[in-house]
Structure 1
Amino acid sequence: MKQYVMGLDNGGTSTKAALFDLKGNQISVFSASTPIETPKSGYTERDMDLLWENNLLCMKKTVEIANINPGDIIGVSVCGHGKGLYAWGMDDRPAYKGIVSTDTRAWEYTEKWYNNGVFEQVYERICQQLMPCQQAALLAWLKDHNRDVYDNIRWVFSVKDYIRFRLTGEAYCEATDISGSGLLNVRDRVFDRELLECYGIVEVYDKLAPLKYSYDLCGKLTDEVAVKTGLLEGTPVAGGMFDIDACAIAMDITKPEQLCTIAGTWSINEFIAEEPVLYGPVAMNSLFAMPGYYLLEECSATSAGNLEWCMENLIDFNGMQKGESRYDFLSRQVESVLPEECDVYFLPFLYSSNAHPLGKGSLVGLTTYHKNAHIIRAIYEGVVYSHKTHIDKLLKVRDKPDVVRMAGGVVNSPVWVQMFADILGLPIETIKAKELGALGCAMAATVAAGRFADYVEAARHMVHVEKKVMPDMEKHEIYFKKYKKYTAVKEALDIAWPLFTV
Structure 2
Amino acid sequence: MKVSSGEYWLGIDCGGTYLKAGLYDHAGQESGVCRQSLPVLSDHPGWAERDMPALWASCASCIAALLRQQNVSGAQVKGIGISAQGKGLFLLDKAGNPLGRGILSSDRRAGDVISAWQRDGLHQQIYPLTRQALWAGHPVSLLRWIKLHQPERYQQIGTVMMAHDYLRYCLTGERGCEETNISESNLYHMANGGYDARLAEMLGIAEISAALPPVVGSAEICGTVTPDVAALTGLTAGTPVVGGLFDVVSTALCAGLHDEFTLNAVMGTWAVTSGISAEMGERENHPYVYGRYAGGEGFLIHEASPTSSANLEWLNRQTGGMAFDEINRAVSALPKAGTDVLFLPFLYGSNQGAEMTAGFYGLQSLHHRGHLLQAVYEGVVFSHMTHLNRMLERFPQAKTLRVTGGPARSEIWMQMLADVSGMPVERPQIEETGCLGAALAAMVGTGVYATFAQAQRHLHFAVKRLEPDAGAQMAYQKKSQRYQFLIDALGGYHARCAAADSQGKPHHD
Give me the TM-score of the superposition, normalised by structure 1: 0.95
Give secondary structure in 2 for the equivalent of 1:102.
Answer: coil
Check the 8 A contact 2:21/2:33 in 1, yes or no.
yes
Aligned to 1:378: 375
Aligned to 2:94: 90
**Alignment pair present for 1:213 and 2:210:** no
Amino acid at match of 2:466: V
Tell me whether 293-302 or 62-71 shows the greater mean CA deviation.
Answer: 62-71
Aligned to 2:296: 291
Aligned to 1:321: none
Give secondary structure in 2 for the equivalent of 1:377.
Answer: helix
Deviation at 1:126, TM superposition (A): 0.7
Give distance in 2, aligned partners of 1:380 and 1:200. Answer: 42
Give secondary structure in 1 for the equivalent of 2:393.
Answer: coil
Check the 8 A contact 2:260/2:397 in 1, yes or no.
no
Give secondary structure in 1 for the equivalent of 2:253.
Answer: helix
Give distance in 2, aligned partners of 1:198 and 1:447. Answer: 37
> Where in structure 2 are the equivalents of 1:91-110 lying within 5 Å?
91-110=95-114
Aligned to 2:44: 40
Tell me whether 273-282 or 130-139 shows the greater mean CA deviation.
Answer: 273-282
Note closer, same or farther for the CA distance 1:449–1:297 as it changes in structure 2 (3 Å cut): same
Aligned to 2:70: 66
Aligned to 1:358: 355
Moved beyond 4 Å, runs of 4+ = 498-502
Amino acid at match of 2:408: V
Give distance in 1, aligned partners of 2:460 and 2:62. Answer: 23
> Where in structure 2 are the equivalents of 1:26-425 lying within 5 Å?
26-277=30-281, 279-313=284-318, 315=319, 326-425=323-422
Amino acid at match of 1:111: S
Give secondary structure in 1 for the equivalent of 2:34.
Answer: strand
Deviation readout 1:443-473 (Å, 9 max, x if unpaired): 0000000001111211122352331122222
Give distance in 2, aligned partners of 1:500 and 1:229. Answer: 55
Amino acid at match of 2:312: L
Note closer, same or farther for the CA distance 1:391–1:316 as it changes in structure 2 (3 Å cut): same
Aligned to 2:450: 453
Amino acid at match of 1:142: I
Deviation readout 1:39-65 (Å, 9 max, x if unpaired): 111111110000000010111111111
Deviation at 1:292, TM superposition (A): 4.0
Deviation at 1:123, TM superposition (A): 1.6
Q: Which residue, 436, 439, 443 being the options, matches 1:442?
A: 439
Check the 8 A contact 2:92/2:160 in 1, yes or no.
yes
Check the 8 A contact 2:218/2:245 in 1, yes or no.
yes
Deviation at 1:400, TM superposition (A): 4.4
**Alignment pair present for 1:475 and 2:472:** yes
Identical columns (%) = 34
Deviation at 1:499, TM superposition (A): 6.0
Give distance in 1, aligned partners of 2:338 and 2:40. Answer: 40
Deviation at 1:216, TM superposition (A): 1.0
Give secondary structure in 2 for the equivalent of 1:339.
Answer: coil
Give distance in 1, aligned partners of 2:224 and 2:428. Answer: 30
Give secondary structure in 2 for the equivalent of 1:225.
Answer: helix
Check the 8 A contact 1:427/1:470 in 2, yes or no.
yes
Give distance in 1, aligned partners of 2:38 and 2:90. Answer: 14
Give secondary structure in 1 for the equivalent of 2:442.
Answer: helix
Check the 8 A contact 1:282/1:296 in 2, yes or no.
no
Give distance in 2, aligned partners of 1:91 and 1:34. Answer: 26
Give secondary structure in 2 for the equivalent of 1:52.
Answer: helix
Give distance in 2, aligned partners of 1:161 and 1:210. Answer: 11
Deviation readout 1:107-126 (Å, 9 max, x if unpaired): 11112112113222222111
Give distance in 2, aligned partners of 1:418 and 1:297. Answer: 23
Deviation readout 1:188-238 (Å, 9 max, x if unpaired): 112111111101111111111111111111111111111111111111111
Deviation readout 1:127-184 (Å, 9 max, x if unpaired): 1211111011100111111112111111100101111111111111111111111111
Note closer, same or farther for the CA distance 1:282–1:473 as it changes in structure 2 (3 Å cut): farther
Deviation at 1:279, TM superposition (A): 4.8
Give secondary structure in 1 for the equivalent of 2:381.
Answer: helix
Deviation at 1:316, TM superposition (A): 5.6
Task: Give the root-mean-square deviation of aligned CA atoms.
Answer: 1.5
Tell me whether 161-170 or 454-463 shows the greater mean CA deviation.
Answer: 454-463
Aligned to 1:320: none
Deviation readout 1:5-29 (Å, 9 max, x if unpaired): 1111001121110111122211111
Check the 8 A contact 1:421/1:470 in 2, yes or no.
yes
Note closer, same or farther for the CA distance 1:432–1:195 as it changes in structure 2 (3 Å cut): same
Check the 8 A contact 1:422/1:473 in 2, yes or no.
yes
Give distance in 2, aligned partners of 1:222 and 1:417. Answer: 44
Q: Which runs of 5+ in 2 are unaligned?
A: 502-509
Give secondary structure in 1 for the equivalent of 2:75.
Answer: helix
Tell me whether 117-126 or 71-80 shows the greater mean CA deviation.
Answer: 117-126
Give secondary structure in 2 for the equivalent of 1:285.
Answer: strand
Check the 8 A contact 1:80/1:243 in 2, yes or no.
yes
Note closer, same or farther for the CA distance 1:108–1:36 as it changes in structure 2 (3 Å cut): same
Tell me whether 278-287 or 382-391 shows the greater mean CA deviation.
Answer: 278-287
Give distance in 2, aligned partners of 1:441 and 1:420. Answer: 28
Say how many residue pairs are matched.
494
